[in-house]
């Protein structure tokens, strides 16, 4: 929402540094929202460290039914300290601060098996390029070339930054064809990237889903 | 999609500052809730968190969401 690629997910995702003080502080904050855990897994630092997300539903006035998902580890992303260093901070008129995953980290986090995440990635990169195209920094150029998801934007990027595109093409082969004007071939390659990333996400979640099933089994036996 | 190819409504949205987007979203959400909209997430069977028993609409956590009363001609 802040970054412009609005997705009506009706929930809030929090990434938590899983130390005991922070964990207690979050528990207190969740209590003030009347938040109850609504599904497995249980809420504990150890569970978060394993890569699970813990789900809550709020009941306090004004936030009834709001979902809050808490996690501390995201697939293929660095640890919390690195994410925190790279975060975006946005302040409102009263000085209230919102600490957000950086756009490149958010894009990486959204490379999931869920189809609805991929159009958001496309928009996030397009918006980031539009807002920063006049003053490109090397890491941003790499980010655009690595994550742009439309043939039109890829063509523009490859023509504008040919050296960086050549350098990155071994990691992203479709960059070699992005300047050819063959949009259909680029689209097919983009689709193949999505399928490959979805397969990686499914493989990542397979053992965690087995753990979730075990948690469910435990909770049904010991409610 | 390039910015130039986006519909005008999208361009207007992107031309806002992040805080302006947040404020506008707050207004939209207030309106959505006032109309009876629910904050229950839509079920997403492609999510690894999806569990049919826990996310079934209308179950313990559910309440009526928006429903279509009339569709336009097009």
Residues A112 and A196 placed together within one structural domain of the fold: yes
User: What contacts B51, CB < 8 A, 6 or more positions away?
Assistant: A39, A212, A216
This model of the complex carries an ipTM of 0.76
Are A198 and A112 within one domain?
yes
As for how many domains chain A has, the answer is: 2
Q: Which domain holds residue A54?
A: 11-73
pLDDT tens for B45-74 read 777 777 666 655 444 443 444 444 555 554
- The pTM score is 0.86
Whether A100 is in a domain gets the answer: no
Contact B19 A65 (CB under 8 A): no
* A65 has a chain B CB within 8 A of its CB: yes
**Residue to test with chain B: of A3, A8, A52, A149, most B Cβ within 10 A:** A8
The answer to whether the CB atoms of B18 and A90 lie below 8 A apart is yes
Q: Which of A73, A99, A119 is the last residue of a domain?
A: A73
- Which of A127, A154, A199 to substitute to test the interface with B, most B CBs within 10 Å? A127
Residue A88 domain-assigned? no
Q: Is residue A26 part of a domain?
A: yes
- The answer to whether the Cβ–Cβ distance between A2 and B47 falls below 8 Å is no
Q: Residue B30 corresponds to which tokens in the numbers above?
A: 């207030």
Spatial distance between the Cα atoms of A42 and A214, rounded to a whole number of angstroms: 11
Give the angle subtended at the CA of A62 by the CAs of A70 and A26, to the nearest 5°.
30
Verify whether the Cβ–Cβ distance A2 to B18 is below 8 Å: yes
* Model pLDDT for residues A56-84, shown as the tens digit of each residue: 999 998 888 889 999 999 999 999 999 99
Asked if residue A124 and residue A49 are part of one domain, the reply reads no
Render pLDDT for B11-29 as a digit per residue (tens, 0 to 9). Answer: 898 889 889 988 998 898 8
Is residue A41 domain-shared with residue A118, that is, in the same domain? no
Instruction: Give the pair of three-digit tokens for residue B26.
Output: 């707050």
The answer to whether A33 contacts chain B (CB < 8 Å) is: no
Answer yes or no: do A54 and A113 share one domain: no
Nearest CB neighbour to A153, from listed B2, B18, B40: B2
Residue A182 domain flag: yes
Do A53 and A116 lie in one domain? The reply is no
Same domain for A185 and A128: yes
């Amino acid at each position: 929402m802040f970054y412009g690629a609005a997705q009506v997910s009706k929930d809030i995702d929090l990434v938590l540094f899983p130390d005991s003080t922070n964990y207690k502080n979050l528990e207190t904050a969740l209590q003030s929202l009347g938040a109850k855990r609504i599904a497995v897994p249980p809420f504990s630092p150890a569970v978060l460290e394993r890569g699970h997300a813990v789900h809550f539903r709020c009941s306090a006035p004004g936030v009834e039914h709001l979902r809050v998902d808490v996690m501390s580890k995201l697939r293929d992303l660095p640890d919390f300290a690195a994410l925190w260093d790279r975060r975006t901070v946005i302040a409102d008129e009263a000085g209230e601060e919102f600490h957000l995953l950086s756009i490149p980290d958010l894009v990486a986090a959204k490379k999931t098996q869920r189809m609805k995440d991929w159009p958001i990635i496309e928009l996030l990169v397009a918006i980031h390029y539009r807002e920063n195209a006049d003053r490109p920094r090397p890491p941003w150029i790499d980010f655009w070339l690595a994550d742009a998801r439309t043939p039109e934007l890829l063509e523009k990027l490859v023509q504008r930054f040919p050296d960086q595109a050549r350098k990155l093409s071994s990691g992203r082969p479709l960059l070699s064809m992005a300047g050819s004007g063959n949009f259909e071939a680029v689209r097919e390659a983009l689709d193949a990237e999505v399928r490959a990333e979805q397969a990686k996400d499914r493989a990542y979640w397979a053992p965690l889903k087995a753990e979730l099933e075990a948690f469910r089994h435990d909770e049904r036996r010991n409610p | 999609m390039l910015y130039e190819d986006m519909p005008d409504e999208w361009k207007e949205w992107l031309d806002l500052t992040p805080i302006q987007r947040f404020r506008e979203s707050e207004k939209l959400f207030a309106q959505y809730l006032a109309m009876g909209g629910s904050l229950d997430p839509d079920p997403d069977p492609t999510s690894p968190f999806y569990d049919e028993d826990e996310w079934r609409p209308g179950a313990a956590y559910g309440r009526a969401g928006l429903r279509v009363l009339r569709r336009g001609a097009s």
